């Protein structure tokens, strides 16, 4: 399906643009690893009705998703229920042809040159919310409907447009079913998975059934998960697809304002990306499946640099062997008691000398379960340098064109042990981050003009890393596209 050639098409908007001029200067293709489509409501509704009937289509339309009932509530109710401000005015409108590009596949196909892009891997808009619906039936049929839509609508444009199938993750069974359908039957090459699952806390709900809406925990699919998702990762290896994640963290922690979307949005994708990345790593998923690549979209790479360097720092101090520096059983209780009695001063004036024995006994108390002491055990590495290799081998980070923090990925002076993180160019075309598609590549190129990226860095950012991400799992990923020769040559040269 994805590999079929499209007929010759005309352009509605004249060239060249600032981005197309930059593209002409480069000796490599540009892969947009995160463009967006904006789904056509009537078509989605028709497919839902086709798959499940009119009643199901109606129930799907009414299904609560996250915080979108904000508009039906009074200002007082929003405050009372802490209903956060949802995304609003989120797609281009001033330039109608840009809006049409997001909605109409043929227009997007025609206008990619204006953005300086050769091939775009497309992510959903409305489909992002389908994976989060709490009702099992509606979530599963919703994902199936969106995948049917992407298959039918984008199939003939496979030379330049590669849509993602959306995979619900509430249980491994539903994930496997949709993987087999979307990849095995429909022929999708790329998949988007829910990066977390919101689950009720049973004890809280039992105490007060009304608390179920608020008493939730976030299952990160790997560390302390309710399910074993290894069969899902194994199926991805077998099907030749690299899991990608595009979940957001709006409503998490401090991102819960009732009236300010910007406050809720800043850092939201980064926090959600960090949660699933950290879980996959510390949970040993990348150790058990070393060939499997994972991508985290729209959060940039600043969080990843911070996470990587934090992991190294924690590993150096808290890995097996070194953690014993803090083992309470090592404490010389007699010496500690003697020091307190001799030099305790005001401490003993307040608590009394009789407090010393109990206080020192408490300092030496060890309550840690032995099997939980080595929290890096699942990684299977013993030295910090090995942690660098383990982290950089499997992970790719989607970075928007206007994010100056993209340079952190290539800063070998800052990243421990000279690590380079695998940033991938991710335009976010179709959403508010891109008010004018003709400036997409130009914005990314500014880091080269400013001396923050080299041309070699830029090639890796906009081409090589995306080829590795997708091609290492499926060498035929870009076959049938306008860049298949360049992609195959890059794969052949990748160690």
Does pLDDT of 15 surpass 90? no
Q: Which band of pLDDT confidence, cut at 50, 70 and 90, is reported for residue 235?
A: very high
Domain-embedded: residue 387: yes
Q: Which band of pLDDT confidence, cut at 50, 70 and 90, is reported for residue 116?
A: very high
- Residues 369 and 104: their CA atoms lie apart, in Å, by 57
243 and 361: one domain? no
CATH classification at residue 219: 3.20.20.140
The predicted structure's pLDDT at residue 2:
39
The predicted structure's pLDDT at residue 11:
41
The predicted structure's pLDDT at residue 371:
86
Domain-embedded: residue 466: yes
- Residues 403 and 333: their CA atoms lie apart, in Å, by 53
Looking at the structure of the chain, the number of domains it has is 2
Does pLDDT of 4 surpass 90? no
163 and 229: one domain? yes
356 and 382: one domain? no
- Residues 438 and 116: their CA atoms lie apart, in Å, by 8
Domain-embedded: residue 323: no
The predicted structure's pLDDT at residue 12:
43
Q: Would the pTM of this model clear 0.85, i.e. be above it?
A: yes
Summarised one tens digit per residue, pLDDT across range 125-159 is 999 999 999 899 999 999 999 999 999 999 999 99
Summarised one tens digit per residue, pLDDT across range 405-454 is 999 999 999 999 999 999 999 999 999 889 899 999 999 999 999 999 99
285 and 306: one domain? yes
Smallest Cα–Cα separation from 255: which of 247, 273, 246, 267? 267
Contacts (Cβ under 8 Å, ≥6 apart) of 343: none
108 and 249: one domain? yes
Tell me what the mean pLDDT of segment 459-472 comes to. 97
Smallest Cα–Cα separation from 57: which of 164, 132, 123, 144? 144
399 and 441: one domain? yes
Residue with the bigger pLDDT between 457 and 329: it is: 457
- Residues 138 and 59: their CA atoms lie apart, in Å, by 8
- Residues 392 and 394: their CA atoms lie apart, in Å, by 6
Residue with the bigger pLDDT between 371 and 400: it is: 400
Domain-embedded: residue 13: no
Tell me what the mean pLDDT of segment 260-281 comes to. 94
Question: Phi then psi for 384, rounded to 5 degrees?
Answer: -55, -35
Domain-embedded: residue 317: no
Does pLDDT of 187 surpass 70? yes
- Residues 378 and 106: their CA atoms lie apart, in Å, by 47
Q: Which two tokens stand for residue 211?
A: 């608390």
Across 209-223, 272-286, 349-363, 453-467, least confident range: 209-223
Q: Which two tokens stand for residue 111?
A: 């206008």
The predicted structure's pLDDT at residue 67:
60
Does pLDDT of 237 surpass 50? yes
260 and 287: one domain? yes
Domain-embedded: residue 320: no
249 and 341: one domain? no
Give me the helices (H) in 84-168, please: 96-103, 105-115, 127-130, 136-154
- Residues 24 and 250: their CA atoms lie apart, in Å, by 39
Q: Do 254 and 261 form a contact (C-beta atoms < 8 A)? A: no
- Residues 392 and 260: their CA atoms lie apart, in Å, by 36
Output the average pLDDT for the chain: 92
48 and 132: one domain? yes
Q: Do 69 and 408 form a contact (C-beta atoms < 8 A)? A: no
The predicted structure's pLDDT at residue 72:
87
Does pLDDT of 340 surpass 60? yes
Residue with the bigger pLDDT between 205 and 3: it is: 205
138 and 28: one domain? yes
Domain-embedded: residue 394: yes
Q: Do 232 and 219 form a contact (C-beta atoms < 8 A)? A: no
The predicted structure's pLDDT at residue 123:
96
Neighbours of 42 (CB within 10 A): 8
Q: Which domain holds residue 350?
A: 328-365
Does pLDDT of 206 surpass 80? no
The predicted structure's pLDDT at residue 171:
97
160 and 258: one domain? yes
208 and 348: one domain? no
Domain-embedded: residue 235: yes
- Residues 326 and 50: their CA atoms lie apart, in Å, by 62
Q: Which band of pLDDT confidence, cut at 50, 70 and 90, is reported for residue 321?
A: confident
């Amino acid at each position: 399906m994805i590999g079929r050639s499209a007929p010759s098409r005309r352009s509605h908007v004249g060239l060249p643009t600032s981005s197309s001029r930059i593209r002409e200067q480069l000796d490599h293709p540009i892969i947009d690893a995160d463009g967006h489509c904006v789904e056509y409501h009537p078509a989605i509704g028709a497919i839902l009705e086709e798959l499940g009937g009119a009643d199901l289509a109606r129930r799907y339309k009414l299904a609560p998703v996250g915080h979108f009932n904000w508009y039906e509530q009074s200002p007082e109710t929003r405050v009372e229920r802490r209903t956060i401000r949802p995304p609003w005015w989120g797609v281009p409108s001033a330039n109608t042809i840009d809006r049409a590009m997001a909605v109409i596949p043929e227009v997007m196909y025609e206008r990619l040159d204006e953005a300086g892009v050769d091939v775009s891997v497309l992510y959903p808009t409305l489909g992002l919310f389908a994976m989060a619906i709490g009702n099992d039936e509606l979530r599963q049929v919703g994902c199936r409907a969106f995948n049917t839509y992407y298959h039918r609508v984008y199939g003939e444009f496979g030379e330049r447009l590669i849509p993602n199938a959306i995979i619900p993750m509430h249980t491994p069974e539903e994930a496997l079913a949709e993987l087999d359908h979307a990849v095995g039957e429909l022929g999708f090459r790329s998949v988007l998975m829910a990066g977390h699952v919101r689950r009720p806390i049973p004890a809280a709900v039992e105490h007060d059934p009304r608390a179920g809406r608020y008493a939730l925990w976030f299952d990160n699919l790997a560390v302390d998960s309710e399910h074993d998702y290894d069969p899902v990762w194994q199926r991805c290896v077998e099907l030749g697809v690299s899991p990608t994640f595009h979940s957001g963290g709006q409503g998490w922690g401090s991102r819960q304002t009732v009236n300010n979307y910007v406050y809720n949005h800043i850092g939201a994708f980064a926090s959600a990306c960090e949660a699933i990345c950290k879980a996959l790593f510390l949970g040993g998923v990348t150790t058990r499946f070393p060939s499997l690549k994972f991508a985290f979209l729209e959060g940039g790479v600043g969080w990843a640099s911070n996470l990587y360097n934090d992991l190294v720092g924690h590993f150096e101090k808290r890995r097996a062997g070194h953690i014993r520096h803090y083992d309470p059983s090592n404490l010389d209780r007699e010496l500690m008691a003697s020091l307190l009695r001799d030099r305790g001063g005001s401490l003993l004036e307040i608590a009394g000398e009789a407090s010393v024995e109990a206080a020192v006994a408490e300092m030496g108390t060890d309550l840690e379960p032995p099997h939980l002491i080595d929290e890096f055990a699942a990684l299977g590495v013993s030295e910090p340098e090995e942690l660098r290799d383990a982290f950089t081998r499997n992970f790719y980070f989607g970075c928007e064109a206007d994010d100056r923090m993209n340079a952190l990925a290539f800063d070998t002076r800052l990243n421990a042990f000279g690590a380079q993180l695998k940033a991938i160019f991710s335009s976010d075309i179709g959403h508010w981050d891109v008010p004018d598609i003709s400036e997409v590549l130009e914005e990314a190129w500014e880091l080269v003009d400013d001396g923050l990226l080299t041309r070699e860095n830029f090639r890796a950012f906009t081409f090589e890393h995306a080829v590795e991400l997708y091609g290492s799992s499926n060498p035929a990923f870009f076959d049938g596209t306008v860049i298949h020769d360049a992609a195959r040559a890059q794969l052949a040269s990748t160690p």
